[in-house]
Amino acid sequence: MSSRSPARLLDLAKQSLLQNEALAVASLESLPAQLFLPLFLEAVAGRHSETLKAMVRAWPFSHLALGALMKAQQPQQDILKAALDGLDDLLAHKIRPRRWKLQVLDLRLNANTNFWDVAPRTWDWSSVRSLEEPEAAQPKTKRPKVDDSRKEEKELLAPVQVLLEDFCLQKATPDEFLTFLMKRVKQGKGLPQLCCRKLEFLDMSLGHIQKILRMVQLDCVQEVELNGHWDLLTLASFAPHLSQMVNVSRLRVSHIRTISFIPWAAEGVDKLLSQFSAQLLSLHQLQELHLDSVFFLEGRLDQVLRCLKSPLVTLSLTNCLLLESDLTHLASCLNTSHLRYLNLSEVNMMALSPEFLQVVLERASATLHRLALDGCGIRDSQLMSILPALAHCSQLTSFSFRGNPVSVAALQSLLRHTVLLSRFRLGLFPVPLECYVGLQGTVDLGNLRRSLAELRLILQDLGRPNSVLLFSDSAWTY
């Protein structure tokens, strides 16, 4: 018998079972576990929905990487519907079948692809088991204590965790897959909540979001992005949900306006901001905070910073109106002393003292990798005052400084203080003031060429002729 005979026998067995779905369903209790994966693949390819439903009800592994399998199948809803029907039927009976071990239904499209790629070639049971995703890969979630007298019953009724990678919804173009899945979770009597790594809501009402959050296991969420063009009142109403996302490591909030029509606006803003920032006390895993176009921080940044419970790796405050007192609080905040990325782009610093930047750079000099100060209105004197601190940022790899009105001389100094940093690779710098002419600020190409030639010479003198130097607006060079 040739070495390929087992494979031919396996193909014959699969074909025989799938030609008679009733036989396939009836034989699942006695079917060797090694045959489940190839038979499941064939059932998916042939759209044998009844076999798929039955196989989910008898699945002998703890993990089912359905998302990786659906990635190449269209329409995806047919496969998902069959799997959810099987799971729904099973959970409705509240009794775990003898062979059923399913704990995780993985709907992530890009996760655990080896489960299907490797196992069908080897048919090695030990290899199949090794491909099951360990429970430790997921965020730890709190489980209620089980009374010993009901322990056996609870084990029989243990829920299945449904994993998603990202949960991104927007009102204008709803995702068909997520819409279908939410509808099924809402309708299914036994289906559990969804567990996803990232929640992203774009231009959606709070009421709609709250309905969705009831379907999500909030302590599984690791990233949250809110861009709803809300006012601060709506954000404060959302905040209690945020406090339940105890494993969030990245939070991005953008386009939040104040409520200017309320007579007691100043006191109201303070109160509502406190309702939001107080929820940050629950986020012990928070490492990245992004606040973009939020118009309630003026004079109140300290209310947010003092609620941080762990050191930040990333802090991004962009297109926000901040006072000098806010930036002073930023410089003195202990949780910003180990930053790897700081972005203060579009924060107007034209009339502000650069002392806070000096302090921030000095404190984060051993860890800072990326710095962005685009469109801050920083002038020559302010830039020159922070250069010594910038030169001590030994880990700096990139500095984005576009849209600031500085001279050729200031840019030359900037190059000398950054290019020699051992890890520095990318500079995004503005066209110098001397290159603009007229009221319209048109770039004079002759002046620009001369400025670029001077900067190239500096790079050559510093021994870094291939360092990246980009100019904003309409001009660029290496």
Alpha helices, DSSP H only, in 244-354? 265-277, 301-305, 324-332
Confirm whether 424 is domain-assigned: yes
The reported pTM is 0.82
Q: How far apart are CA 43 and CA 50, in angstroms?
A: 9
Residue located via tokens 């509502």: 272
> Has residue 123 been placed in a domain?
yes
Give Cα 327 distance to the centre of its chain: 27
SS3 percent helix, strand, coil of the chain, rounded to 5, is 45, 15, 40
Residue 120's alpha-carbon distances to 59, 131, 149, 371, in angstroms, are 16, 12, 42, 48
Where do runs of H (alpha helix) occur along 321-432? Answer: 324-332, 355-363, 380-391, 408-418
Q: Is 341 left (phi over 0), alpha (psi -120 to 50) or beta?
A: beta
What's the pLDDT at 146? 44
Residue 257 lies in a domain: no
In b/e form, how buried is each residue of 131-160, taking b as 16+ CB within 10 angstroms?
bbbeeeebbeeeeeeeeeeeeeeeeeeeeb
Q: What is the pLDDT of residue 318?
A: 97
User: Which structural domain, as residue segments, surrounds residue 397?
Assistant: 368-478
The domain boundary residue, chosen from 128, 156, 176: 128
Instruction: Specify if 476 maps to a domain.
Output: yes
11 falls within a domain: yes
pLDDT at site 33: 75
Q: Which two tokens stand for residue 241?
A: 């949900």
Burial 227-265 (b: 16+ CB within 10 A, else e): bbebbbbbbbbbbebbeebbbbbbbbbbbbebeeeeeee
pLDDT for the residue numbered 130: 45
Q: How many structural domains compose the chain? A: 2
User: What's residue 203's pLDDT?
Assistant: 80
Residue 398 lies in a domain: yes
- Is the residue at 319 inside a domain? no
Domain stops at, among 128, 147, 182:
128
Residue 288 counted as domain residue = no
pLDDT in tens, the chain (478 residues): 444 445 555 565 556 556 656 666 676 777 777 778 888 888 888 778 888 888 888 888 888 888 877 766 656 678 888 888 888 877 776 666 777 888 888 888 776 666 665 444 443 444 444 444 444 345 555 544 444 444 444 444 466 788 887 878 776 566 777 777 777 777 765 566 788 889 988 888 888 888 888 888 899 999 999 987 788 888 999 999 999 999 999 999 999 887 655 545 667 788 889 999 999 999 999 999 999 999 889 999 999 999 998 999 999 999 999 999 999 999 999 999 999 999 999 999 998 899 999 999 999 999 999 999 999 999 999 999 999 999 999 999 999 999 999 999 999 999 999 988 989 988 899 989 888 887 667 888 888 888 888 888 888 888 876 666 766 555 544 4
CATH of the domain at 424: 3.80.10.10
CA–CA dist 154, 313 (Å, integer): 41
| HSE, side-chain direction, 13 A CA sphere, residue 64 | 29
Domain termination site, one of 110, 128, 146: 128
